[in-house]
Structure 1
Amino acid sequence: MKLINRYIIRQMAVMAVYALLAFLALYSFFEVINEMGDVGKGGYTGGKMLQYLALNIPAHAYELMPLAVLIGGLIALSQLAAGSELTVIKASGMSTRKLLGILSQFGLIFALATVAVGEWAAPKASRYAENMKSSAISGKISTGSSGLWLKEQNHIINVREMLPDHTLTDIKIWSHNEHYQLTEALAAETAALNADGSWQLNKVSRSAIGAEQITAAREDSVRWPVSFDAALLDVLLVKPDQMSVSALWTYIRHLESNKQQTQAYQIAFWRKIMYPVAAWVMALVAFAFTPQNTRHGNMGLKLFGGICLGLAFHFAGRLFGFTSQLYGIPPFLAGILPTLIFALWAVYLIRKQEKR
């Protein structure tokens, strides 16, 4: 039986990888079309665009993993059924429960892969991709572990982060003269973006550095004019889909302490929790939609239905996220309902097959 187990898992895994690669190629094609409009802006060349697309592949792979498991499992199991291999395997003494155990092992492999990609590879690669693109287009932006660094005329500006309402936090500004001698150091706890593009700094500490002395002062509010596009700061706006579970949890607590809206991040948090489970559930859905008897000629129809079901699941998560924010559905329910519904449906279809 161990040989049969490895054979089934290998067949399904190979098809799932093929399906994932096909979807990634399709996504990359559409992204090339979308990015062509930005090529030529600043230092954003064709090579930079390809680098940007390559860095976004882990994020796309994470999003498509359950869909690849479903379609790969469907194709592999349908091939086994078409060649009567599935019938022979059952006739050799393998029960449906044992077969579901094999499918669970296959789903678990891709669930672990989903965790690895979603927690480590995708967040880091996506963040680096956005930073690289913004740096290439603007020509004067650089990022690091301490936030965003900008060079504005005779000022060097550091912004730690930007909250969802576009409030800047922990701003530091150093000014120098034409001889690059430091003339002023300024620190502000927060800053708001004004309609005219300037910043309204709040709770400001500034130190004027003279030839012989340093003069310190504190001000409640200071208007600071800037000439660069405020859109450059979007690199600091943390996107929920690009964050790991641990980062989301930390960021949610941070937003709550700053009395900011957290619903979008809570939905993303629960979706991240359930996404590896979804990869496992899709293996069961694949079995539920696999025709057990090929004599009725329904294999192609069931395969098409399973693919449509996978696409429905792929977009259901986003739909539940939007409806949750519109109608006040608890983020926990919005995050788990798509996976739970598909799991219950798979169990129902499998039990229905067994009663025939």
Structure 2
Amino acid sequence: MKLLTRYVVLRLGKASLLALMALVSLYGFFDLLGEAGNIGKGTYTTATAFQYVLLQMPARAYLLMPLAVLTGALFAFGRLAADCEWAVVKTSGVDTWGIVRMVLVFGGAFAVATALLGEWAAPEMSRRADALKAAAKSGQVLAAQDGIWIKENGSMVYVASVLPDNGLTGVKIWRYGDDFRLQEAISAPRARVGEGQWLLFDSRSSRITPERVETVVQPQRVWASGVGRALLATLQVKPEQMSWTALGRYIRHLEHNRQQTQMYRVAWWNKLVYPAAVVVMALLALAFTPVSGRHANMGLKLFGGVCLGLLFYFSGRLFGFTSRLYGVPAWVAALLPTAAFAVWALVLIRRQERR
């Protein structure tokens, strides 16, 4: 990497990281205010609320990354222009498309970070946050590293994950008597939650008697449970919180059971396209950067950047709802806002070059 490219990328990167920290902190403050009403329910304390908000921060960072890149890049470009460094770059033999390549290096690095956040850190931390909150409020649920534990009268239940359609995966149940001796162990790859009962599919149970252990396999089995949809709704993995690979697996599961998949297809395509939006925001910041900073109003530019970021976010949401309402292909709903903003940025950069 050339020295000039490294310098510009580092300036843009530092400003964007600071913008991200500020936005995530602001978002976290409002999240904490929103949790104030839950403090005192069960064992949900102020410390639990702080922990919940901290666990949600990777998901907030993933959501705010394009806006942070746009705002940070606008600020960094503005400072470069105000210090006349941008004019020096322009007059040192670097043409507009050379600068675009620098911006693509910067945007590509943040796009990779966004993809990693969306695929691993954000879904896992959000799941733990929801499980922690449900455990503290109800007293029945305990969050584990790879699932949740539920304590009921006479049984202990383990669930690997709670799906958006009230489905459960990786269910294991241990039933014991008044003397706390194990009476039955049940496992089921999947289950569905009803009111006052769970429907276990392909269950395998081992009933323990003084004489022997009896194994029973059932295609369907009803299990009475006091943990219903209301409690498990707080633990559901929402489409926006699922990783790209998990969404793909879940879509195939829905197709196998002949269920609607449009909402999850839109989320899958959004996950795929979202890192590219970071690069587009970096290009938009370049498009709104003047060569000289003498007449640039930094406050106005930052306000405009926030408005652009919000416009991009709400346009994506609008196209997502349109796809579900009118049957627009999911890839069109996901690609169109990003492609439109990318074309807009390139047109503005081209006009800037002609000046």
Change in 2 beyond 3 A, CA 1:204/1:56 = closer
Change in 2 beyond 3 A, CA 1:117/1:213 = closer
Query: Structure 2 matches for 1:284-295, cutoff 5 A?
Result: 284-294=283-293
Query: Do structure 1's residue 307 and structure 2's residue 306 form an aligned pair?
Result: yes
Contact 2:130 2:235 in 1 (8 A): no
Structure 1 equivalent of residue 103 of structure 2: 103
TM-score of the aligned structures, taking structure 2 as reference length:
0.88
Provide the C-alpha distance between the structure 2 equivalents of 1:58 and 1:88, rounded to a whole number of angstroms: 38
- SS of match in other structure, 2:237: coil
Query: Do structure 1's residue 136 and structure 2's residue 136 form an aligned pair?
Result: yes
Structure 2 equivalent of residue 164 of structure 1: 164
Contact 2:128 2:143 in 1 (8 A): no
Contact 1:291 1:302 in 2 (8 A): no
Change in 2 beyond 3 A, CA 1:213/1:32 = same
Kindly state the Cα deviation for residue 257 of structure 1 after the two structures are TM-superposed.
Answer: 2.1
Provide the C-alpha distance between the structure 2 equivalents of 1:42 and 1:218, rounded to a whole number of angstroms: 38
Structure 1 equivalent of residue 175 of structure 2: 175
Code of the aligned partner of 1:149: W
Kindly state the Cα deviation for residue 316 of structure 1 after the two structures are TM-superposed.
Answer: 2.4
Structure 2 equivalent of residue 26 of structure 1: 26
Kindly state the Cα deviation for residue 155 of structure 1 after the two structures are TM-superposed.
Answer: 2.0
Structure 2 equivalent of residue 48 of structure 1: 48
Change in 2 beyond 3 A, CA 1:221/1:61 = closer
Query: Do structure 1's residue 354 and structure 2's residue 353 form an aligned pair?
Result: yes
- 309-318 or 277-286: bigger deviation: 309-318
Provide the C-alpha distance between the structure 2 equivalents of 1:10 and 1:215, rounded to a whole number of angstroms: 66
Q: Name structure 1 gaps, 5 residues minimum.
A: none
Structure 1 equivalent of residue 17 of structure 2: 17
Code of the aligned partner of 1:269: W
Query: Structure 2 matches for 1:261-272, cutoff 5 A?
Result: 261-272=260-271
- 165-174 or 292-301: bigger deviation: 292-301
Kindly state the Cα deviation for residue 75 of structure 1 after the two structures are TM-superposed.
Answer: 1.1
Query: Structure 2 matches for 1:145-294, cutoff 5 A?
Result: 147-169=147-169, 171-186=171-186, 191-195=191-195, 197-201=196-200, 208-213=207-212, 223-234=222-233, 237-294=236-293
Provide the C-alpha distance between the structure 2 equivalents of 1:4 and 1:289, rounded to a whole number of angstroms: 21
Kindly state the Cα deviation for residue 286 of structure 1 after the two structures are TM-superposed.
Answer: 0.5
| Fraction of identical pairs, as percent | 48
- 249-258 or 212-221: bigger deviation: 212-221
Query: Do structure 1's residue 337 and structure 2's residue 336 form an aligned pair?
Result: yes
Kindly state the Cα deviation for residue 40 of structure 1 after the two structures are TM-superposed.
Answer: 1.7
The Cα offsets for residues 314-352 of structure 1, whole Å up to 9 and x where unpaired, read as: 232222222211221111111211211110100111112
Provide the C-alpha distance between the structure 2 equivalents of 1:15 and 1:309, rounded to a whole number of angstroms: 18
The Cα offsets for residues 89-130 of structure 1, whole Å up to 9 and x where unpaired, read as: 212222111111111111112112212222222222222222
Contact 2:290 2:296 in 1 (8 A): no
Structure 2 equivalent of residue 121 of structure 1: 121
Provide the C-alpha distance between the structure 2 equivalents of 1:199 and 1:132, rounded to a whole number of angstroms: 23
Q: How many residues align?
A: 355
Kindly state the Cα deviation for residue 145 of structure 1 after the two structures are TM-superposed.
Answer: 6.7
Code of the aligned partner of 2:242: M
Code of the aligned partner of 2:97: R
Structure 2 equivalent of residue 320 of structure 1: 319
- 158-167 or 21-30: bigger deviation: 158-167
Kindly state the Cα deviation for residue 245 of structure 1 after the two structures are TM-superposed.
Answer: 1.8
Contact 2:78 2:296 in 1 (8 A): no
Change in 2 beyond 3 A, CA 1:312/1:167 = same
Change in 2 beyond 3 A, CA 1:277/1:150 = same
Code of the aligned partner of 1:151: K
- SS of match in other structure, 1:180: coil
- SS of match in other structure, 1:339: helix
Kindly state the Cα deviation for residue 161 of structure 1 after the two structures are TM-superposed.
Answer: 4.1
Change in 2 beyond 3 A, CA 1:16/1:146 = closer
- SS of match in other structure, 2:289: coil
Q: Name structure 2 gaps, 5 residues minimum.
A: none
Provide the C-alpha distance between the structure 1 equivalents of 2:92 and 2:212, rounded to a whole number of angstroms: 91
- SS of match in other structure, 1:150: strand
Provide the C-alpha distance between the structure 2 equivalents of 1:246 and 1:330, rounded to a whole number of angstroms: 20
Provide the C-alpha distance between the structure 1 equivalents of 2:113 and 2:189, rounded to a whole number of angstroms: 40
Structure 2 equivalent of residue 68 of structure 1: 68
Provide the C-alpha distance between the structure 2 equivalents of 1:77 and 1:279, rounded to a whole number of angstroms: 16
Contact 1:289 1:306 in 2 (8 A): no
Provide the C-alpha distance between the structure 2 equivalents of 1:17 and 1:27, rounded to a whole number of angstroms: 15
Contact 1:173 1:186 in 2 (8 A): yes
Provide the C-alpha distance between the structure 2 equivalents of 1:218 and 1:86, rounded to a whole number of angstroms: 72
Provide the C-alpha distance between the structure 1 equivalents of 2:10 and 2:241, rounded to a whole number of angstroms: 31
Code of the aligned partner of 1:333: V
Code of the aligned partner of 2:339: L
TM-score of the aligned structures, taking structure 1 as reference length:
0.88
The Cα offsets for residues 32-64 of structure 1, whole Å up to 9 and x where unpaired, read as: 111111122222211121111111111111111
Change in 2 beyond 3 A, CA 1:135/1:300 = closer
- 57-66 or 197-206: bigger deviation: 197-206
Code of the aligned partner of 2:177: N
Contact 1:160 1:170 in 2 (8 A): yes
The Cα offsets for residues 240-294 of structure 1, whole Å up to 9 and x where unpaired, read as: 2222222222222222223333222221221111121111111111011112355
